[in-house]
């Protein structure tokens, strides 16, 4: 019966597409028929219909765990970025200039002869410092010293905007110290977690042996290190709980913070890292107070030798990718091959590019946008943003489930949205970072120290509204709740997301969906708790809260029912914010497209209507192939649903999707009408 339905549907569908004269079919750039599988019934598997041939022709490359539209653009950017770095490396630029720093850092990252000769010796001074720890004061001092070098351990410290007073930057203390990607890998009793624990202990042991530790001692030490991290994991707040900003907001003054861990001499840590009483004039936020109460127990546990083993491991793990090949290979074998299913390491030049992006990202980005980004693109994207904001404004005014009081605040928040496109108006100043050609590890340490100092300098200062959280060459976008801003780097403004020569339907289904997604984050289950000024402040009426949560619960139930691999489903709670942003953002982009098409004669392109091309474009940007282990890891740790889910699941809540492809409510792909949500 299912096959009969599929044949009848496909005949009707094709007849509808090609019934008009071929003279009316216009060819422009955008959706490629070569990537689609037109033999697939879109009412049965829309993802394969839109991406089937692309999936067949794009197995995961051996040096990746996943491959998709994001990675395709990233790869296309790489040749330009590498040419910039190679030119900088031979340019003999004046000392202190960004170009000199880019060239020298790239040189040390590519200098495999020196890296192989040094082995792990650049870490010996850090090991010696850790070995000299005698008491708790020494211990908290070395923890602070390592934090300055970007070596995460035992707890997390950073500076950020106060969620309830976003005009202030305050110290933040969070849980931290794990090496495995999630607490459950330390605690869960499922077969995969048990296998990961065994392999992880073996990995630690192998890494210690490479530093000269005896085999038997290395295995004993590896077990001690694992057990130390397991104690931390037992006190960790779950990823789902952390998604609620109220759960991680515990504002307190300095004395209240110190009282959580009275056995820790915090003044020693503050002196080491550059904090003082003035740093706490606006208080501090402790994400997980319970974790800091446990930290007090750890300092009272007489585990000084275990602390040393653990801290040396965190140093070794933090720098493993920058050491000689035996360390790099073992690090790859566990974290990339075993955990993510990656078959081969990236070539040296690609690893080196990653070093630059993390250390001097905006310096490289400034040179990148000068060659790869046009003012015309920025103008077109700004126009699309305005249209999608207008669509949300109109939708809010029409909502029948939201009270006027909540609508008023929602509209106010929308009116204060800030938009950043392409690249920063003010570039980051790297003058205080000293880069030379001595050694890669030394340069990495200098870069990390620079970033730590830069972060510390923000405390007590006005918020830098010009700062970006991503490099211009990054293929991604983001929403900041405390700044109430959406940011679209130049890197993502390329096909299949955006093509200046494509029709509106393709661009609204691509980058328009991304724009709508980021705007939607301002009103997802977490973002909606922040007001127009970027403050964590509940502006929803109690009844609207209930109505919104009822809609959100339906989304959780839908996504939690989607089996992706083995018997593993999407974690509907962990991915709720991203799923809400997808559903709402896609619909807003569609409304904006419909408005742009008003009073225009609809054109068939490759036999598809603008509405159909919109939905095909949406599915196209989420095309993805992924290793089985990579998919299992994503389901466990990522707040985003897998691409195969994102490409279709949001559409199933949206009536115009069914109408565009004549999909009846009883079609195999259809979501029951009573389970669909319409948020905007």
**What's the pLDDT at 376?**
87
Contact 270, 276 (CB under 8 A): yes
State how far the Cα of 252 lies from the Cα of 282, in Å rounded to an integer.
9
State how far the Cα of 604 lies from the Cα of 306, in Å rounded to an integer.
68
Phi, psi of 578 (to 5 degrees): -70, -35
Angle between helices 136-148 and 440-456 (to 10 degrees): 100
**What's the pLDDT at 533?**
98
Contact 285, 172 (CB under 8 A): yes
Phi, psi of 328 (to 5 degrees): -60, -45
Please, what sign has the CA dihedral across residues 214, 219, 222, 224?
Answer: negative
Tell me which H or E stretch contains 108.
helix 98-110
**What's the pLDDT at 28?**
57
Long-range contacts of 264-272 (CB under 8 A, 24+ apart): 264/136, 264/140, 264/295, 264/296, 264/299, 265/136, 265/137, 265/140, 266/140, 268/137, 268/140, 268/141, 268/144, 269/140, 269/141, 269/143, 269/144, 270/144, 272/140, 272/141, 272/144, 272/145, 272/148
**What's the pLDDT at 375?**
87
Architecture in CATH for domain 46-60+497-675? 3-Layer(aba) Sandwich (3.40)
SS3 34: helix
**What's the pLDDT at 550?**
97
Cβ neighbours around 125 below 10 Å, total:
9
CA angle (124, 125, 127) in 5-degree steps: 60
Q: Which residues contact 292 (CB under 8 A, 6 or more apart)?
A: 155, 173, 257, 260, 261, 286
Residues belonging to the chain: 680
Contact 236, 178 (CB under 8 A): yes
State how far the Cα of 315 lies from the Cα of 179, in Å rounded to an integer.
11
Per-residue pLDDT tens over the stretch 131-148: 999 999 999 999 999 999
Average pLDDT over residues 485-514: 97
**What are the helix (H) ranges across 471-609?**
504-509, 511-521, 542-560, 576-597
> Is 547's pLDDT higher than 70?
yes
Per-residue pLDDT tens over the stretch 197-232: 999 999 999 999 999 999 999 999 999 999 999 999
SS3 170: strand
Per-residue pLDDT tens over the stretch 38-91: 999 999 999 999 999 999 999 999 999 999 999 999 999 999 999 999 999 999
Do the bridges between strand 563-565 and strand 284-286 make them parallel or antiparallel, or are there none, so unpaired?
unpaired
Q: Which residues contact 384 (CB under 8 A, 6 or more apart)?
A: 507, 508, 511, 512, 515, 592
In the numeric block, the tokens 């219909």 are attached to 49
State how far the Cα of 52 lies from the Cα of 34, in Å rounded to an integer.
9
State how far the Cα of 524 lies from the Cα of 551, in Å rounded to an integer.
11
**What's the DSSP call for residue 23?**
G
Average pLDDT over residues 657-669: 97
**What's the pLDDT at 18?**
33
CATH homologous superfamily for the domain 120-322: Neutral endopeptidase , domain2 (1.10.1380.10)
> Is 302's pLDDT higher than 50?
yes
In sequence order, what are the beta bridge partners of 28?
none
pTM: 0.93
Nearest Cα neighbor of 604 from 220, 33, 6, 7 is 33
Phi-psi region of 283 (alpha: psi -120 to 50; beta: other; left: phi over 0): left
Nearest Cα neighbor of 225 from 247, 207, 251, 250 is 207
Give strand ranges (E) for 438-576.
478-480, 485-489, 563-565, 568-569
Per-residue pLDDT tens over the stretch 503-543: 999 999 999 999 999 999 999 999 999 999 999 999 999 99
Average pLDDT over residues 338-362: 98
Residue 616, CB half-sphere, CA atoms under 13 Å: how many?
30
State how far the Cα of 671 lies from the Cα of 660, in Å rounded to an integer.
16
**What's the pLDDT at 14?**
38
Contact 98, 92 (CB under 8 A): no
**What's the pLDDT at 680?**
86
Question: Per-domain residue ranges for the chain?
Answer: 46-60+497-675, 120-322
**What's the pLDDT at 599?**
84
Per-residue pLDDT tens over the stretch 449-486: 999 999 999 999 999 999 999 999 999 999 999 999 99
Mean pLDDT of the chain: 95
Contact 594, 7 (CB under 8 A): no
Nearest Cα neighbor of 498 from 27, 1, 30, 7 is 30
Give strand ranges (E) for 119-179.
155-162, 165-175
**What's the pLDDT at 20?**
36
Paired tokens of 79: 């040749």
**What's the pLDDT at 261?**
98
């Amino acid at each position: 019966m299912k096959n009969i339905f599929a044949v009848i549907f496909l005949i009707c569908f094709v007849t509808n597409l090609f019934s008009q004269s071929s003279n009316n079919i216009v060819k422009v750039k955008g959706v490629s028929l070569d990537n689609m599988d037109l033999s697939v019934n879109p009412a049965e598997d829309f993802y394969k219909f839109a991406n089937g041939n692309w999936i067949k022709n794009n197995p995961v490359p051996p040096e990746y765990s996943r491959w998709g539209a994001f990675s395709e653009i990233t790869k296309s950017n790489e040749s330009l970025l590498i040419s910039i770095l190679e030119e900088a490396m031979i340019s003999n630029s004046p000392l202190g200039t960004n170009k000199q720093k880019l060239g020298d850092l790239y040189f040390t990252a590519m200098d495999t002869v020196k890296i192989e000769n040094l082995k792990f010796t650049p870490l010996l001074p850090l090991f010696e410092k850790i070995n000299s720890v005698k008491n708790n004061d020494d211990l908290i001092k070395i923890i602070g010293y390592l934090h300055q070098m970007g070596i995460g351990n035992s707890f997390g410290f950073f500076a950020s905007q106060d969620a309830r007073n976003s005009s202030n930057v305050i110290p933040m203390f969070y849980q931290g110290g794990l090496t495995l990607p999630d607490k459950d890998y330390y605690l869960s009793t499922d077969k995969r977690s048990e296998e990961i624990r065994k392999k992880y202990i073996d990995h630690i042991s192998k890494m210690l042996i490479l530093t000269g530790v005896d085999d038997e001692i290395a295995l004993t030490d590896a077990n001690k290190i694992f057990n130390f991290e397991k104690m931390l994991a037992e006190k960790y707040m779950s990823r789902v709980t952390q998604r609620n900003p109220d759960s991680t907001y515990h504002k307190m003054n300095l004395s209240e913070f110190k009282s959580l861990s009275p056995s820790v001499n915090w003044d020693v840590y503050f002196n080491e890292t550059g904090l003082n009483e003035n740093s706490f004039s606006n208080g501090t936020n402790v994400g997980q107070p319970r974790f800091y109460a446990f930290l007090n127990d750890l300092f009272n546990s007489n585990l000084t030798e275990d602390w040393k083993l653990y801290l040396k491991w965190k140093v070794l793990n933090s720098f493993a990718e920058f050491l000689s090949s035996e360390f790099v290979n073992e690090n790859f074998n566990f974290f990339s091959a075993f955990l993510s299913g990656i078959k081969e390491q990236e070539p040296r030049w690609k690893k080196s590019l990653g070093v630059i992006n993390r250390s001097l990202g905006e310096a490289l980005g400034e040179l990148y946008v000068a060659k790869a980004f046009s003012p015309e693109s920025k103008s077109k994207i700004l126009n699309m943003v305005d249209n999608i904001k207008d669509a949300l404004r109109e939708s809010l005014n029409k909502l029948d489930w939201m009270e006027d009081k909540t609508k008023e605040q929602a509209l106010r928040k929308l009116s204060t949205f800030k938009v950043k496109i392409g690249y920063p108006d003010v570039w980051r100043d790297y003058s205080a970072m000293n880069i030379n050609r001595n050694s890669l590890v030394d340069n990495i340490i200098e870069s990390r120290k620079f970033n730590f100092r830069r972060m510390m300098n923000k405390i007590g200062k006005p918020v830098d509204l010009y700062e970006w959280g991503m490099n211009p060459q990054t293929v991604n976008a983001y929403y900041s709740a405390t700044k109430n801003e959406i940011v679209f780097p130049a890197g993502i403004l390329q096909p299949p997301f955006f093509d200046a020569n494509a029709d509106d339907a393709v661009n609204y289904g691509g980058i328009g969906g991304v724009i709508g997604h980021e705007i939607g984050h301002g009103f997802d289950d977490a973002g909606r708790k922040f007001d127009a000024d970027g403050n964590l402040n509940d502006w929803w009426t109690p009844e609207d809260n209930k109505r919104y949560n009822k809609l959100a619960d339906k989304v959780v139930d839908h996504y939690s029912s989607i089996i992706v691999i083995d018997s593993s489903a999407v974690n509907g709670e962990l991915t709720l914010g991203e799923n809400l942003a997808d559903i709402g953002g896609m619909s807003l982009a569609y409304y904006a497209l419909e408005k742009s098409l008003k009073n225009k004669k609809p054109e068939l392109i490759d036999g598809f209507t603008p509405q159909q091309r919109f939905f095909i474009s949406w599915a196209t940007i989420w095309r993805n192939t992924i290793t089985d282990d990579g998919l299992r890891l994503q389901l466990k740790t990522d707040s985003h649903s897998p691409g195969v889910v994102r490409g279709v699941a949001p559409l199933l809540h949206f009536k115009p999707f069914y109408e565009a492809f004549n999909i009846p409510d009883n079609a195999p792909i259809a979501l029951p009408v009573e389970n669909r949500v319409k948020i905007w």
